[in-house]
Structure 1
């Protein structure tokens, strides 16, 4: 639910009586054992009341809702339709810890839902289910629901009888089987499931909150979320032999609903495909290293399945850029800007190749100029022969036109031959409404703004009349249009009492506080798929820079707004430029944006040929040459 950052309003301290009432409600809703000789009635003021039992109940309440608990309303979006969800968060601090969101109440549900921080301090208050590590770390943390085949348990044990439809449950991974990492509500009676879950389909648990989401990340001090511990006492972990579900689940076969037998829904609607605005969890260096190593093994395994010996379709020597772009990136478990060579412990492709050479997975050779290339690979190494393929993430479509090609065939590139037009429109401020234009929510072209201004002048002959090159200032023009601190020359104009018509027109459009610019990129004379986006029109960015020594490369970025898929363009550039072309996540860009790096200064090929064929006018291209010496 909290993949996007929720809007949390000002916190208000809970009254002691309200806090005790909420704590008692939690105890009843979750069936938490009450200390002996205790009840959930308000404490008595009688002098004869035993002190020790009352203190015990008080300490239980404090564990669930600390004395410092505050509450606040929140608003967020949830589900494939981004529906608005509102509710209340309860914030408090356990002993020695910072203030965190401890409980969540959303929509009309009166039952409070615990966060992982509450579960880490209150063992066994909800059922704890288990799932394989790769499901917990890579799927559930992306907002997917937990499917029935993704559930696992120890052999000879029973499902927790509390795990019934509608109940709140926690989920942990195999590695940290005593640590709740994910919270959701049961869609079925999990307690009635058998031992063998193979072949069963459907959602077992609907996700609400997890370690790594925006509620976990919230902190009163703004210092981010707290990582989960490695082990917690009081929770029942996995013991003994696991049922066959974890070993027999396959991620290559999908059911008719697009849901994986591996235990999670990978379909965008069921799992909630991440948006560009959403922030991604930053993996550890070890996780990125393992992902790169597995991707290399996957590429060799796939090549053996599809091609013939001895080289299985590879042409040696292999350049480092080819290794990253064609062997590693397409086979990474996670397609994210966080999984880049710079995020590994090797930092660059050369050291990565040296590591694979040390493992005897390949042979490398250093060339003149410091470049390291791959001259051979061991396709019969035990790591390759024993490699088990995993489900690769579905590539993100660049546009609704689709990406049907395999990335290497430019003839299937839908951007070839397209016609692009960029239209700039404006939203006007309340200063111009309704005197010039009727609405501040509608979009107007520059011509419509000019026409409205001309009509205003024509209706007021005292300003200078029709045909006059300059006009007199009236209160509306002087106060509502001129006088901005951003335009120092306005003071001179006001002092003179007149302004040229053309200067007035330009002044209205140049002031973003009067006319906020938006843009629409039309493709093949159709803009029906796009809504105006705030800001000036985007540009394709071409950067020429030097790498090691005298090596020059060309970087191309921001192609996606113009319906160009970098993965499909890179092979074409590699042929046209007679050099390696690699594709990687754009450094510092939004998730999903890619950057192409091609050897040499290729601006002429790009502007005069490649981009021109895709409808990109030279005025929409920004070229930065970093190879030139800076002027002193």
Structure 2
């Protein structure tokens, strides 16, 4: 009878015919009806996989500092990817109806963003490759798709100009590469750094993907998760034409789920888990039994089609729940233009309605920032990051104002420095007279607002700040003194918790810094002494330098409190906004904003309360004036903020109304007490 081999090693015992690599084999022989066991060490070639002592990205590569790509360079690289991987040209026709659903055509911009999101950073790296540990250099490209954290999305090796996708890119771009399938046992071997051999492939009943030619980039998935790529390699044979009895190397491994590229993150948090399945990849027939797959008799379902870049994000089943389940409609450029024009007409119509006399509560000249934040965004039909001036045909506020000027809706003027301001608006234009107001998006918390306000305050179509939820987030940028020893990038934003975690990880990676007798104290090394304590030395720093050690908490506070090390920024998030979900949100440098309530005497002995700084909290001063007037039972007016930037408004109301404004006006618009500063100028000097 033929010999059978039982292989001992990790995992369950496998019965095969010399098909699994092992060092220790046991042979069971049947001689004269007696069972005999022979054990010996033998080197057996594996027809499915072969491991090497040192494989690329099995060890951590040396990655230099990241630098952001210019927009033109990012577009150029995205177009190169489209050519290298023969992606379909963007559609120019309008929306199409398929299976009862209307789909928007893919634009060149959307395809580019799906491949290389904006912004994308790059960095040079070096690593070793192959059995001889040959040093090889290349470039990594780092970016974050909507709803996800920063990851290495592409890499380039040596003199090969091609950008090679990581599994993170493949999980978001179905059918980008030809997808090969193997048994789950072989998946474990590949993720250990092995190459793929032809006998390990599960061959379809008819043929492999036609794109799987020699020197092409291919992806590999196991039969259990047959639509989720786990491994990326370069084919060493024409896999598309492989026969049943083919032998030899099918593909050489470049990157896989679990290697150091997959594990990289800005704060060394480790890799993200793969989705359970991805719609759009050519998977196997899910009804086949595992035994059939192991016997190399699969019959995968071959589906023709191109890359579904637009729908990929919504189809993923991410385990951490970062990606929203419902796909958001992406408007066309013309749709954004129309929305901005409607919003401008609505703002003029609403200003005339609230303040009958000209200039209807508006203070000229109007700055571009005021136009967008107070006359466009509150009146858009839909609040979405897709409705952005950069998504319009004008690409900027200046050209938008010029367009309105050509439409004879306003008069504009270019000032020194290239800024364009609005000098006047034609409130009597026929388009304003016949304008029909439409229903605006309702804030989620609007139904919990106080019903005692005026009609303007209760109407969600008038005041979009009513019921909003605000959260103030302080973030930091690292100076060059902390990069790359403590933090990986000068351009990324970090929370205080992330910086603390980075310091903790740095100490864990350098155990010799810990004072064994006093665990709370850290010994000073050249990096801590020169780059941290030496950046802006104080008396406490001198004491620590003299002692040669510093308390952990003091070191953490020293890093966060020194703006020479951590440059503070802030961002005010509205409702469900997050930095991860909306990359268009940009933190602002400087201290967090404040609303100032100034109580002072004006016009003799008349006490008034002036409210300034509302715009920073998405509150339109024009829209709260009627409510203030009714709540305070006195006159209220809106005018230019004295000493403020042009377009910054101030609301004045008779009497000392700080209590009413704080508790009844600002509180239900999401403004917390610590964000309000009260200045009382009516008190006599010397009195508290």
Return the TM-score normalized by structure 1: 0.38
Return the TM-score normalized by structure 2: 0.35
